[in-house]
Amino acid sequence: MIDIHDDKKQAEEWLENTEGEMSQEQLVYLAINGHKECEHYCGSRELCELGACYCIRATFPTPKLYELYQQLRKTYVEMESLAVFSGLSKNLQIVKKDKAEKIFGNKYAKDN
Ligand SMILES: [Zn+2]
């Protein structure tokens, strides 16, 4: 365990930090798989501002890279749900109008 004051101090320093690099490979990997640490309770997160907890700082050298990761992750998750949605509609052909009656019953077919 790191000391509470050290943790806070490190978080403040990290929030100001602009130096450090991550490879594209690392960012893409994390965007696809998600940054798993700190999903549940995190003592460091309770203390440190703006989510700058130990787990985040250990992975992302700068807040800018963490921001970039969050944007990439969001985009990936959206793309993934689109792919699932598109796959579902293809497989089940639920977009076809003639299936509407089967899915919604006669009422839907009459109203349309
Ligand atoms: Zn954490």
What span, in angstroms and rounded, lies between the C-alpha atoms of 6 and 12?
10
Which residue range is the domain that position 65 belongs to? 4-111
Ligand 1 centroid from CA 68, angstroms: 18
Q: pLDDT, tens digit, for every residue of 45-54?
A: 887 866 789 8
Residue 15 alpha carbon to ligand 1 centre in Å = 15
What is the biggest distance separating any 2 CA atoms in the chain, rounded to whole angstroms? 68
Whether pLDDT at 70 is above 90:
yes
- Measured in Å, residue 51 CA sits from the centre of ligand 1 at 8
Q: How many of the other CB atoms lie within 10 Å of CB of 58?
A: 12
Contact of 78 with 72, CB cutoff 8 Å:
no
Measured in Å, residue 112 CA sits from the centre of ligand 1 at 52
Instruction: Give the per-residue pLDDT at 39.
Output: 72
| Dihedral angle over CA of 34, 38, 40, 44, nearest 10 | -160
Q: What average pLDDT does the chain have? A: 83
* Coil vs helix vs strand at 84: helix
- Number of structural domains (the chain) is 1
